[in-house]
Structure formats: structure tokens, C-alpha cells
Structure 1
Amino acid sequence: MVAITEFQKIGVGISGFGIFFILFGVLLYFDSVLLAFGNILFLTGLAFIIGLRRTAHFFFQRQKLRASSFFLGGVALVVLRWPRIGMLVESYGFFLLFKSFFPMVFGFLGTVLNLPFLTTLFNLSESSSSMV
């Protein structure tokens, strides 16, 4: 079992608040202050979780430099109060940065859906939604 340090626990909390503020900023029609605060909290939490050196290494690898520039450029645009364009650029950079993780996430979701309780729950929800 992997031991989780206190800094990592704090980082998970900070990242959670960052994601909350980003989602809340999007729901409030791209409020630039909430989005900027959420971006800063998310990046700070990521640095707490995996460490400053690993965070810098992740963002500034040679093959990920274009994706990192889009992501961090989008964060900069949001901070400079251009939230819609910044979130578009940031989303594209996020997709490029984490596209290697998507098959693992989808595989995990596939195993979660094979749990008996969730399978019956999804089967019941599919059969009850009729268009007539």
C-alpha cells in the first residue's frame, strides 16, 4: 500500500477546490475571477501532490512543450481576463497533455461498469427511458 503524506492530502484538497472553482466559474458564464482562482488552486494542488520538480518535469518535457504552452497560455489568458478564449486554449492544451492517460481512464471506467450493482443500475436506467 502506498503511504500518502500530509502534503499530498493537502494537495488533493487544494486541487478539489480548484476544480470546484473552475466548474463554478463555467456555470456562472465564464466568470474570470473564479476561473483564474480555480486554475491557480489546481496547479498549486498538483505541485503539492506530485512535487515541484515532477510538476516542472511533466510540463516542460520536450515532447509536451507545445501542449504545455497551450495549457499555461490558456491559464495566462484567463488570469488576464479573457476567460472564453483562455478556457478554449487551456482545454486544447489539457487534451494534448493528458491524451496518453485517456485509454487508462476509459479502461478503469469499463471495469467499474462491470460491477454487478452498477451494471443492474445502468440496465434499469436504459430500459426506463422510453421516447413514447
Structure 2
Amino acid sequence: MVSFEMNDRKKIGLGLTGFGIFFSFLGIIFFFDKGLLAMGNILFISGVTLTIGLKSTMQFFMKPQNFKGTISFGVGFFFVVVGWPIFGMILETYGFVVLFSGFWPTLAVFLQRIPILGWLFQQPYVRSVCSVSKSSKFSF
């Protein structure tokens, strides 16, 4: 059974995940700075681990249907650390999309419920794009 209560560990995990996304964004903005990208990756992975727990994280990354995404994300992280940040980020982006492709419909529903931003996501063109993406599965 999944617990939806917010304890301090989950709050810290969400904060670390947010900082990981922020540092990765800064790393891209600053012309693929490998230090910021590596720090963003470490914060993101540790935040996800704290948020959902170590066992759930390992189960998520080790599912057979997630192997492509896990390997791609890991190899991309390696290339970022080694010094090839552009190639590493391309691999990481592919891995991220493959790993989290099941969450996009949930994210679309969540974005439609945000008061001001939700209006934009409820427009006919945006809804048609979201419905096409929900019906088509990523076939990487």
C-alpha cells in the first residue's frame, strides 16, 4: 500500500528533486557546465530516492521495461562526469523520457488543475496534443 502522507524525509526528497532539476537547468543555460549538470543529476537521484524510498527506487529503475531508460540515463551521467556534457545530456534526456513516459498523462491532468496555468493547458490545441500523446505509446 502506498502512503501519501508527507513526512520530513519526503519533504526533503521533494526539495532535493527540485534543486536537481534547477541545477540541471542552470547547467544547460550555462553552456552545458558539467559541474552543474553532475550536481543536478546527483540531487535529482537522491531526491527521488528520499521521496519514494530506496526499495521503490531500485524496483522502478530495475523493471525490465525501464532497462533502456536506466542504462541510457546512467551512461549519459557517466559522459557528463567524464567531460562530454552535450552527448551525456542527450542520452540522459532520452533515458528520462523513456523512464517517466508513464507519468506524462498524470502530469497533464495535474497541470490542467493549476488555477492560472491550467487555463492554458485546457485550450483545444494543447488538449489535442495531450490526447495524442496519451494514446500513442513511446516506442523507443
Establish whether TM, by shorter chain, passes 0.5. yes
Query: Any stretches of 5+ residues in structure 1 without a counterpart?
Result: 124-132
Question: Aligned partners of 2:55 and 2:15: how far apart in 1?
Answer: 20
Match of 1:25 in 2: 27
Select which of 42, 45, 48 maps to 1:46.
Answer: 48
Aligned residues: 120
| Greater gyration radius | 1
Cα 1:3/1:89, change in 2 over 3 Å: same
Select which of 73, 83, 86 maps to 1:84.
Answer: 86
Question: Aligned partners of 2:117 and 2:48: how far apart in 1?
Answer: 33
Match of 2:73 in 1: 71
Structure 1 position 116, deviation (Å): 8.1
Question: Aligned partners of 1:52 and 1:102: how far apart in 2?
Answer: 23
Question: Aligned partners of 1:10 and 1:119: how far apart in 2?
Answer: 30
Q: TM-score, normalised by structure 1?
A: 0.81
Query: Any stretches of 5+ residues in structure 2 without a counterpart?
Result: 124-140
Match of 2:107 in 1: 105
- More deviation, 103-112/26-35: 103-112
Cα 1:62/1:38, change in 2 over 3 Å: same
**Is the partner of 1:87 in helix, strand or coil?**
helix
Match of 1:129 in 2: none
Structure 1 position 12, deviation (Å): 1.1
Question: Aligned partners of 1:8 and 1:99: how far apart in 2?
Answer: 23
RMSD: 2.4
Cα distance per residue 1:58-111 (max 9 Å; x no partner): 001111111111111111111112100000000001111111111221233234
Quick one: which amino acid aligns to residue 2 of structure 1?
F
Quick one: which amino acid aligns to residue 51 of structure 2?
I
Percent identity (aligned): 39
Q: TM-score, normalised by structure 2?
A: 0.76
| 8 Å contact from structure 2 (residues 33, 85) kept in 1 | yes
Question: Aligned partners of 1:60 and 1:24: how far apart in 2?
Answer: 29
Structure 1 position 118, deviation (Å): 6.0
Cα 1:82/1:107, change in 2 over 3 Å: same
Structure 1 position 37, deviation (Å): 0.6
